Amino acid sequence: MRRLTHYPVQGDGNSMHGWYRRTGFFRVCFNFMIIVLCRYLPSLRMKNFLYRLVGIKVGRGVSVGLMAMMDVFYPQHISIGDNTVIGYNATLLAHEFLVHEFRLGAVEIGANVMIGANSTVLPGVSIGDGAVIGAGSLVNRDVPAGALACGVPAKVKRKAFMTDSVQVGDGS
């Protein structure tokens, strides 16, 4: 189950109208410029520095692939653990605009996680240490530590744990 805070729409229009009242126009513009710049930067150190500048909690040795997209409205709700790899064109969202409500939830990614290319992680999701998310997956629920999850929506295919670079299965 995702951990989300729900905000019903007040007045006419959908939840996307008035986004600037929730987060601030100039803050979102700043976040957008930095995050879009990071999509193209090849330097991992520079990316991590800039991600921290917009409020993303980035651990040591994190590698974010080209074209990866972080939430521009609420980047401060994203945390990425040490030595994690986020693949090409992956998307991490901390908010959802719906017709009748707005949802906000933290995205917590553990250490030594691998998120495959073109994957999307929705708000309110936690991915445990050492988990692997297959390419093209939609992560809409928590993934336990050491698990392999893939698909749309992502389902845990194998529970396993890592010991030094040797993978040990749980026998299933």
Split at pLDDT 50, 70, 90, the class of 166 is: very low
- Per CATH, the number for 5-10+18-163 is 2.160.10.10
Split at pLDDT 50, 70, 90, the class of 17 is: confident
AA letter at 4: L
pLDDT tens per residue across span 81-90: 999 999 999 9
H/E segment holding residue 6? strand 5-8
Active site residue 6: no
Q: What is the DSSP string of 22-41?
A: HH-HHHHHHHHHHHHHHHH-
Active-site residue (options: 6, 17, 77, 95): 77
- For the chain, the structural domain boundaries read 5-10+18-163
Once rounded to an integer, what is the mean pLDDT over residues 100-121?
A: 96
pTM, two decimal places: 0.89
